[in-house]
Amino acid sequence: RLMLMYDWCSWIPNAPPTMRAPPPTAKGVVTIEQIVDTLPDRGRSCWHLGAVWALSQFQENELFLGMYPEEHFIEKPVKEAMARFRKNLEAIVSVIAERNKKKQLPYYYLSPDRIPNSVAI
């Protein structure tokens, strides 16, 4: 459910939900008219965009990678392992944030603080 899904799929030719004609069988012989005739119509495209947008949103109470309700884990070794894991994730987030400072178009999609802990659809 990363926003990448919406960013990539919101341009229908990247991920057409349906096709109105079979894909080409040879490279370099397709015309723009054939491509347009193959892509889904406006109604199907709008439905696709709505579905992808809904599936790419975070919940208000979303738990991200490394976030666990404390009551699930009470053993000291487990809590220590969780702390080490969180520390490693924080280091990765810092590296990604630092790298993105130098980019004209930052890339946050695989930053642990933006990856849900689990996926439920």
Per-residue pLDDT reduced to its tens digit, 76-111? 998 899 999 999 999 999 999 999 999 988 888 889
How far apart are the C-alpha atoms of 121 and 55, rounded to whole Å?
A: 7
Mean per-residue pLDDT over the chain, rounded: 85
* Percentages of the chain per state (helix, strand, coil), in multiples of 5: 50, 0, 45
- Write down the pTM of the prediction: 0.62
Nearest to 6 by CA among 62, 55, 43, 39: 55
- pLDDT at 90 (0 to 100): 96
CB 117 within 8 A of CB 65: yes
- pLDDT at 91 (0 to 100): 97
- pLDDT at 63 (0 to 100): 85
27-55 average pLDDT score: 87
